[in-house]
Every structure is written in C-alpha cells, then in structure tokens.
Amino acid sequence: MKRRDFIINGAVVGAGVALTPRLLAAFGRPAYPWEISSPFASLGQEPLTPELAARALEAARLAGATYADVRINRNRTQAVGTRERQITGLADNETMGFGVRVLADGSWGFSASATLEAEEVERVARRAVAQARANAKARPRPVELAPAPAHPNVEWRSPVEIDPFTIPIEEKVEHLFAANAAALAVGGIRFVSSSMFFLREEKFYANSDGTITDQVIYRAAVNMTPTAVAADNSDFQTVSSNTDLEPRGLGYEHVRDANLVANAAKWAESSVRKLSARSVEPGRYDLVLMPSHLWLTLHESIAHPTELDRIMGYEANYAGTSFISMDMLGRFRYGPSFMNVQGERSTPGALASVGYDDEGVRPHDYLIVREGVLNDLQTTREQAPWLADWYRAQGKPVQSHGNSYAQSWADVQFQRMPNINLLPHPDRDVPLDELIGDVENGILIDGNGSFSIDQQRYNAQFGGQAFYEIRNGSVGDMLKDVAYQIRTPEFWNAMDLMGGRSTYGSGGSFGDGKGQPAQSNAVSHACPPTRHRDITVINTGRSV
Amino acid sequence: MPNFLSREQAQELAGRVLAFSTADEARVNISSGEEGNTRFAVNQISTAGDVTDATATVTSAFGRRIASATTNRFDDESLRRVVQTSEQLARLSPENPEYLGELGEQTYVGGDSLVESTAELTPDRRAEIVVAVTAPSAERNLLSTGFLLHRTGSTAVATSRGLFAYNADSRLNFTTTVRTPDGTGSGWAGIGLNDVDQLEAGDIGMRAIRKAELSRDPRAVEPGRWTVVMEPTAVANMVGLMMGQLNARPADEGRSFFAKPGGGNRIGEQFLDERVTIWSDPADPRLFTTPFTGEGLPNRREVWVENGTLRTLSYDRFWAQRQEREPTGFAAGYYMEGGDASTDEMIASTERGLLLTRFWYIRGVDPRTILFTGLTRDGTFLIEDGRVTTPVKNMRWNESPIFMLNNIEMMGAPVRVSPSESSGLASATVVPPLKVRDFNFTSLSDAV
C-alpha cells in the first residue's frame, strides 16, 4: 500500500482544481477519474482527497468549530434482477460526495454535498458550523466526546478475492438464468425471481484529532425465490434461498460459492411441498431454530435493545426505546449461563466488519451478555461517557466501542450495531441432533420470513421460510402458516440448549433500519441453532 | 433559493446527456435538490443535516437490450462515461422481450408544488419549530423527541424520441413523540405538508403532550376482536398496505389477493364496504402528485375503488399492451373518501372499544390475504360506555386492510397525514378516521 505524507490538521493546501462552486456550475473537467484502476485503488491514493479533507477541517476550524470530521465517499453499486427467462433490471450506480460534521457551541452540525471542489467543501463546512450554532439555541447541554487515540494514515480493505465489477455482465445474467431454469424444471413452479447486488465503497475519513483513515468496503448478495402456484390458483407459496444464503462483505467469490444452479431445485421443491403442507395447529411448541432463521430473532431482540442511544430516548420517535435501562447492567439475566453475546467488527466477510468506524475509532470485540447477564451496551464517542460509572466500577476505560456508521456521504453518522453474535455453547460441541432428539412436540424453523417487534423490543412475531414438525425426537413433515410470538426475556430464558462450535452459522442483512432520515446498516449475526421450550405458535393463514 | 435544476437547466443537461448516446434509444432521468432535517430528543436538538445532491440515470437500448447507469457527477467526462456504461451493459445483456421502446412527447396535468416558504426553510427556523414542542414539554416535565424533514427539488425525464417532462416540488414532514420521564406514557402526533407556513408545530406538540399525559400507567386488556376507533394516521398505515398491491400483473398471474380464483383478476368485483372510495389525481391540489412516471408516462386521475368495487389496477406499458388495456401510470398518493362522523361521535357511540393513534413495525405475513402484523403505539386507550376511560397496554395485531375495510361502522372527514413509519417524505395521503369492528389483536405488548 502507498504511504501518504500529508498533514491534515490545520494545513491549508493550495488548490489545483477549477473552483466552480455548486452543482449547477459543475460542468467542467472531472476532478476525479471514473476508472478505478484496481480493487486496491482507493480515494486516499488520489492527491485531491486529502487536500479537500484538509480544506473542510480548516474551514470548520476558522468558522469556530471545536471538533470537525469529514467523510469523502465514492460508492459503486450494481444490481441485476431477473424473472424466469428475462431481465427485470440491470443498473449500475455511482455516487460521490462528502459530508462534514462539526461541533460548535456544544451542538452537532452536519452538511453534505455532491460537488467535490475546494470552494464547495469550504462552503459546506461553514454551513455545518452555522447550522450547529442554530441548533445550539435548542440544546442546553453540550455534547462531550470520549477521548479516542488518533490513527494517522491508516488503511483497511474488505478481504475480497474477485472484484465483482470485473466480472462481465453476461456471466452474471447467464448464472441467474441457469438457476431460474433449474427451478422452473421442478413441476409446480410457475415463477422464479433471482438477483445479485454488489457494492464497492471507498471511504476516506479525517478528523480534527488527527485521524485519517482510507478504507475500501465490498458487499455481495445473491438470492432467488421460486413461486409454486396451485393448479386452480387457490394458493401460492415460496421458499426463498435465505435458508442457505446470506449477504456477505465479500466479492464475486461469494456468488460462485453460493452455487445457485445446483441448489435451485432444493428451494423449488420446498416451495412445491409447502403448497400441500399441513397448516399448523396453533398452540405451544418447543422450537428448534436454525442459524439461517435465528440471526434475525437475535438481531431484533438482543442487538437492537442494547443500542445505547435507544435506551437514552434518542430514537423514541421512530425506532423506539428499549426495555433495557442502564441500571440493568450487571443485573439483568438475559438468558441461561451458557449464553454469551459478542459485539465485533472484525470477522472477515461479515457485513459490519471494518478497520475503523465512521468517527475514526478502531472497533474492538466486547461482550454484551456474559454468562447470561447483561454486561455492556453499544456506543459511539458521544455515548461512551454516559456509561462512565459502570465502566469505572468494572475497571474498564471509558471509550467508544467503535459503533458509529453512516450509510453514505449524505447522511450523518450515528450509533449502529456491529456484528452481534450469539456465541456457541461454551462447554462442549453440542450437535444439532441433540437439540432435536429431546423434543416431543416441536417445530424446526429454517430461513427468515415475516418479522415484527414492538418499539421497546418486548413482543415479537417471527415467521420463516420452511417449517418442519418434530415428533418424538425426529424431524417429520413440512408445515405452513407458522409464526411464533415471544416476549424477549422469557424467550431467551426458555432456551435450554444451543449448538456447539461445529453448528455455528450466520445470517445478515443490508437493510437494518434506524434513524431519521432512516438509514440502512449492513450487519451479520453468527449463532448456533438453539432450542426454546414451550413457545406460542399462531396460524397465519386466513381465508377471504 | 435552494440548489436544484430549473426546467431550462434540466432540459440543457438532458440534451447534453442524450447527445453522447449512440444507442437505438435512450432516456435520462434527472433528480436534484436540497434536503434538510433537524432531529430532537430529550427536549433538545440532537442532530441535523443539510444535503445538496443531483443524479442522472441513463437508460440505453439496442433493440430490446436495455440497461441503465447512474451518476451524481455532471462534468462532461462523467456524463459521457455514464452513457457509455449503460450502453456497455445494454449491449451485453440478453434481449428483454417486454421492452416497448421509449415514449415520445406526452401531455401532463398537475404537479408543480414548489413552495417558496419551504424552499427557504433555514436551520434557524427549524430550531424555532423544534422549540415550539420542546419548551412546553420541558415545562410539563415531559421528554419530547421528534423530526422535521424537508426537501425542495426537481425531477425530469427526457427521451431520444423527444419526450421531456419536468416537475418541481417542496415537501416536509414533522412528527413528535412525547414521553413521560417514568417511561409509562407516550404520545405521538405528526403531519405531512408541502408548505411550512401551514405547519402548526405548537398544536402538534400539544396533541402529543396530551396523549403522553393521558397514557400514563396503562392497564392490560385481553387481546381478541375489538371495535376500534382509528385516528387517520392508523387508517393510512393500513390502507397503504392495500394500495401497494393494486397491480394487475401479479393478480393476472395468480399470486396476489387481487387474483380471481380460477383465473383473471377482481376488477369489477365489490370487495370492500360500499362506502369505500379511493382515488389518485396528480391535478388535485390536495394531493400534489408527480404528474409522470419514471418512463415519462402521464399519471392520470384513477379511481381505484368506487363504492367498494375494484375499478382498476395499475398496468405498466407491457402488461397493458398484453391485456389490451391503457397503461395507467401510477400516481403516488391517494385520497380516501370519508363520512361525516367526528372522532368524538365515534367514541360516544362505542360501548366497549379501543382508540388507536398509530401502528408500528408493520410487516407482511401472508400475501394471499394482504395479512400483515404490527403493533399499536403512542396513544392506545380504552373506550367504555361512550367515553375514553383509561390508557391500555399496546397490542400486536394480525389483520388485513381487506378485512378492516369490510368492517367499517363509521367514517369521518379525510385529513392529510404523515403515513410513513419512519416519518419520511411520503406522497400526499388523505384519509378519514374510521370506526371498525372485529379488529384482530393477537397478543399483549409491554412496550410503551
């Protein structure tokens, strides 16, 4: 990797570009090349980037900011969608811009623009400071930031083997068409949709504390959904590929490993079987939840309620608050003593993995639940000081966990969950068969389906993709119309066994929503299969 | 004025893009504007943002091979490259048998809701609006949280066959949730508008404050079938789920509620209470809808449901041709006709029921019946013998707008609401409050 030798803080660098302000005038020469020379190229390697970042920080300082950071992004995405034997969408998207966040008069200000030119960068920085001053009129208590070590000139890259943007579009389309054909070859399948999505995000970040990070993040997703329709149109059912596939922070190798063509018949056959599956009898069942399903229940009922901004009421108008309060740290029993929940951004290929977060903090691994008891919460630099008493009592430093994130240059960064994992059984490598073997009357759920949870994360309802009855210790027929309803604390305390290391799987999403304006976070959750006793199951099928 | 492309600037930009095209046919979609927001929590501003952006999406076709590419950089080189990228992708892609070519010149009605007061909204004025809620909340020892979002911008479509369409608009949304410090009470109020001068932030704040105070210490009632008085926001939360399914193709394909058993769709069938009439109209000043689709097809007045009967579904150009119908466009935003009952009269006529403010985490459960699940939130009250008597705990429901709109008892006067769960800049949505019987609650929630 190239080493750059510039100093951001306080430096005013001479401008080498035409100073045409605002987007209306931006019809001149391009400041940045379109072609990305290699997967290892990054914004930080282009000399203009640190120069513009320095100008933004300096303009903010001169306007009176006590802290400033700037994020410059170049994002490329590609989406390919098909149904049966035709394309439904083929789109390539590039967006580039920058956002400046400042503290002035104790308040945050944030301003962003697509025009990466010197005058615009300075105008936007000044606009952020003016906005912070306006905000200060309605902010009696000033923002304080936890100290964070400076990371001057550091780099990070997603562990990509094949840059998806180098793969010809024909190959991608042919791959999806071949998978569609394999699904349509299964009798009873009338429709199939399939898609691929790729992201390459270059993220350059600098702050007035001296941190400069240069990162390149990749994401890849591939999926398909066959639809079986009854001959008389009286019913239709689907089992999607999410029983086996999850989005990853990887390159095209993820698509090849997914092997859609070989697996299509499996999802198609499950969809057809679901048409004639027995509609579930509502009641109470023991549930065995596969990682392809459980990750979403974990996301909703553990990952969201342990976001500190929610707990403090900052998201009350949309995402909600939490059933957890700070005084439950060290006291609240989330689940049995073999339950450990970890926050991390370091697993290779997991969606929230990065080298540095969106305020320049290097994330570290931490335990949110330790031996069944609530142990820590998700934080940013603004939030870590709110937990100062707890950390001091534990003999821990008051520092951010590195959980700041913004979905794009146009959005302000705030607290977003890292990868949050339910760790496998700590004592022994419990196999899946052992979870099933002890169930008299239960249901095994594979894949994630319908999901909904209240704004404090107590009451949740989850569907799935494929449901199988468990009778006297063995997996039997397929079921349909299944959803279970839980109250979070009872649900995790009703878990009496989980799988061990060799059963550990994961799932994830690009679409974790929070904030106003709503932003999408990308996150993975690893977990073993689990068994929960005596859970309420409802039947969701109704006739008109 | 904010930074967005005027009609002339959009036309000039479209011309520059199309001049680079070597495809058989091409289209460019341009969007530009400024968006601003201020958030507040715990009675003070938490964050805010002001964003300037513009994008151009180029769609290129060689015969029936078609693809698109988007950029937000408008220098000549970037525009040339975005055209080339879309052409490269199009050449490599297989033929799309459903591509019907680009449209020529069209005529449009309606649109143009650019409002100067909204366009000129500054962070200072946003802070004043926020204080109109935070100050009275703090005075009453309550905690207010909320979100003000506005955007002024333009969209344009141009094709190589001579079509040019342009629309500028201003929109804003303001919502607040006020909570009691002990966490036992929560109240919400909000509105969507085009003109910030019509925003009565103090009134909205007082509605949320009143609900927060009245909702302290809720008691549990049994889930099951309840008569409910739904405020307009809750009605929009449900009706919007059905509006999203008004699509002819999945119906004709047998995978939608609107599919007719045995084949075809339900157009012409009475499927809702005969008092239900819902329409869209880009020329109606109450709706201010964009007058064209992304392809440049005109959005027209469409009566979707008239006196409970399905009058039409939306048809894109391909499906319309296939089914020998006119394409409908798709005017976002809708108006649901109401009745003359006031919410007070609905309550007074209810022996035992629930008063609902809004819904949360609404997710699909079964597309065959448009069955969704979700929860009540921020103001749920028990009605006994014609009076609101006590706050009740929130509940999860599993319900369909189809069942709900067959169980109407009373309807009130339609009003504009903030229909999106996230308080985003939704298209104008005007719906009445409703009194509905047999609303299906399936479990209790402890969430406040």
Which pLDDT score, from 0 to 100, does residue B325 have? 95
B225 burial type by CB count under 10 A (0-12 exposed, 13-18 middle, 19+ buried): exposed
Tokens of A494: 């009703």
Tell me what the mean pLDDT of segment A418-434 comes to.
98
Which pLDDT tens digit goes with each residue over B384-418? 999 999 999 999 999 999 999 999 999 999 999 99
Q: How confident is the model at residue B176 (pLDDT cuts 50, 70, 90)?
A: very high
* Residue A488 domain flag: yes
Residues A288 and A214 in one domain: no
Which pLDDT score, from 0 to 100, does residue A234 have? 84
Q: How confident is the model at residue A6 (pLDDT cuts 50, 70, 90)?
A: very low
Best CATH choice for the domain B7-212 from the list 3.40.50.2000, 1.10.10.10, 3.40.50.1100, 3.30.2290.10: 3.30.2290.10
Neighbours of B93 (CB within 10 A): 21
Euclidean distance between CA atoms B278 and B414, whole angstroms: 11
Euclidean distance between CA atoms B376 and B365, whole angstroms: 17
* Residue A390 domain flag: yes
Tell me what the mean pLDDT of segment B305-310 comes to.
98
Which pLDDT score, from 0 to 100, does residue B111 have? 78
Q: How confident is the model at residue A255 (pLDDT cuts 50, 70, 90)?
A: very high
Which pLDDT score, from 0 to 100, does residue B2 have? 67
Which pLDDT tens digit goes with each residue over A501-527? 999 999 999 999 999 999 999 999 999
Q: Do B396 and A483 touch (CB under 8 A)?
A: no
Tell me what the mean pLDDT of segment A147-157 comes to.
96
Show the CA angle centred on residue A450, arms to residues A449 and A451, nearest 5°: 115
CB-based contact, A231 to chain B, within 8 Å: no
The answer to whether residue B245 scores a pLDDT higher than 70 is: yes
Tokens of B321: 């041709």
Which pLDDT score, from 0 to 100, does residue A236 have? 92
The answer to whether residue A1 scores a pLDDT higher than 70 is: no
CB-based contact, B421 to chain A, within 8 Å: yes
- Nearest residue in B to A325, CA atom: B183
Share of chain A above pLDDT 70, in %: 92
The answer to whether residue B173 scores a pLDDT higher than 80 is: yes
Q: Do B371 and A542 touch (CB under 8 A)?
A: yes
Chain A positions in Cβ-Cβ contact with residue B448 (cut-off 8 Å): 321, 456
Which pLDDT score, from 0 to 100, does residue A2 have? 35
Q: How confident is the model at residue A17 (pLDDT cuts 50, 70, 90)?
A: very low
Q: Do A452 and B131 touch (CB under 8 A)?
A: no
Which pLDDT tens digit goes with each residue over B15-52? 999 999 999 999 999 999 999 999 999 999 999 999 99
Which pLDDT tens digit goes with each residue over B100-116? 999 999 999 987 889 99
The answer to whether residue B179 scores a pLDDT higher than 80 is: yes
Residues A303 and A428 in one domain: yes
Show the CA angle centred on residue A485, arms to residues A481 and A486, nearest 5°: 155
Amino acid of residue B359: F
Euclidean distance between CA atoms B26 and B123, whole angstroms: 40
Which pLDDT score, from 0 to 100, does residue B156 have? 98
Rounded to two decimals, what is the model's pTM? Answer: 0.93
Which pLDDT score, from 0 to 100, does residue A4 have? 34
Tokens of B92: 């490599």
Q: How confident is the model at residue A370 (pLDDT cuts 50, 70, 90)?
A: very high
**Residue of A88, A131, A322 for testing the chain B interface, max B β-carbons within 10 Å:** A131
Strand partners, B305: B278, B310
The answer to whether residue A27 scores a pLDDT higher than 90 is: no
B66/chain A closest Cα distance in angstroms: 8
Q: How confident is the model at residue A360 (pLDDT cuts 50, 70, 90)?
A: very high
- Nearest residue in B to A480, CA atom: B366
The answer to whether residue B374 scores a pLDDT higher than 90 is: yes
* Residue A153 domain flag: yes
CB-based contact, A462 to chain B, within 8 Å: no
Which pLDDT tens digit goes with each residue over A43-54? 998 889 999 999
Q: Do B253 and A190 touch (CB under 8 A)?
A: yes
Residues A293 and A205 in one domain: no
Residues A34 and A147 in one domain: yes
Which pLDDT score, from 0 to 100, does residue A543 have? 72
Q: How many domains does chain A have?
A: 2
Chain B contacts in chain A segment 192-211 (CB below 8 A): none
Residues A448 and A329 in one domain: yes
Euclidean distance between CA atoms A47 and B261, whole angstroms: 64
Tokens of A529: 């299969």
Which pLDDT score, from 0 to 100, does residue B119 have? 96
Out of B89, B176, B373, closest to residue A452 by CB: B373
Q: Are A144 and A103 in contact (CB under 8 A)?
A: no
Q: Do A454 and B361 touch (CB under 8 A)?
A: yes
* Residue A316 domain flag: yes
Show the CA angle centred on residue B308, arms to residues B238 and B260, nearest 5°: 85
The answer to whether residue B342 scores a pLDDT higher than 80 is: yes
Q: Considering chain B, what is the average pLDDT of its residues?
A: 96
Would you mind telling me the total number of residues written for chain B in this entry? 448
Tokens of A65: 């900011």
Q: How confident is the model at residue A544 (pLDDT cuts 50, 70, 90)?
A: low
The CATH number that applies at residue A204 is 3.30.2290.10
Beta strands in A208-263 (DSSP E): 212-229, 236-238
Chain A positions in Cβ-Cβ contact with residue B46 (cut-off 8 Å): 108, 314
Which pLDDT score, from 0 to 100, does residue A30 have? 45
Chain A positions in Cβ-Cβ contact with residue B20 (cut-off 8 Å): none
* Residue A40 domain flag: yes
Out of A27, A112, A518, closest to residue B51 by CB: A112
Share of chain B above pLDDT 70, in %: 100
Which pLDDT score, from 0 to 100, does residue A345 have? 98
Share of chain A above pLDDT 90, in %: 89
The answer to whether residue A37 scores a pLDDT higher than 80 is: no
* Dihedral sign computed on CA atoms, order B400, B405, B410, B414: positive
Q: Of A202-216, A293-307, B251-265, which gets the smallest average pLDDT?
A: B251-265
Euclidean distance between CA atoms B35 and B143, whole angstroms: 27
B62 burial type by CB count under 10 A (0-12 exposed, 13-18 middle, 19+ buried): middle
* Residue A264 domain flag: no
Out of B73, B368, B398, closest to residue A30 by CB: B73
Residues A302 and A177 in one domain: no
Tell me what the mean pLDDT of segment A442-446 comes to.
98
Question: In 3D, which of B29, B30, B26, B28 has the Cα closest to residue B6?
Answer: B30
CB-based contact, B176 to chain A, within 8 Å: yes
Which pLDDT tens digit goes with each residue over A205-246? 999 999 999 999 999 999 999 999 998 888 899 999 999 999
The answer to whether residue A28 scores a pLDDT higher than 70 is: no
Which pLDDT tens digit goes with each residue over B428-437? 999 999 999 9
Q: How far is CA B98 from CA A79, A134, B63, B64, B255, in A?
A: 19, 52, 11, 8, 20
Range of the domain at A104: 23-189+192-219
Euclidean distance between CA atoms A496 and A421, whole angstroms: 18
B129 burial type by CB count under 10 A (0-12 exposed, 13-18 middle, 19+ buried): buried
CB-based contact, A37 to chain B, within 8 Å: no
CB-based contact, A313 to chain B, within 8 Å: yes
Q: Regarding predicted confidence, which is higher, A11 or A379?
A: A379
Q: Do B94 and A87 touch (CB under 8 A)?
A: yes
A465/chain B closest Cα distance in angstroms: 11
The answer to whether residue A406 scores a pLDDT higher than 50 is: yes
- Name the H helices within B244-301: 248-252
Which pLDDT score, from 0 to 100, does residue B133 have? 98
The answer to whether residue A444 scores a pLDDT higher than 60 is: yes
The answer to whether residue A35 scores a pLDDT higher than 80 is: no
Euclidean distance between CA atoms B132 and B202, whole angstroms: 5
Q: How confident is the model at residue A41 (pLDDT cuts 50, 70, 90)?
A: confident
Out of B38, B255, B377, closest to residue A227 by CB: B255
The structural domains of chain B, with segments of one domain joined by +, span 7-212, 218-448
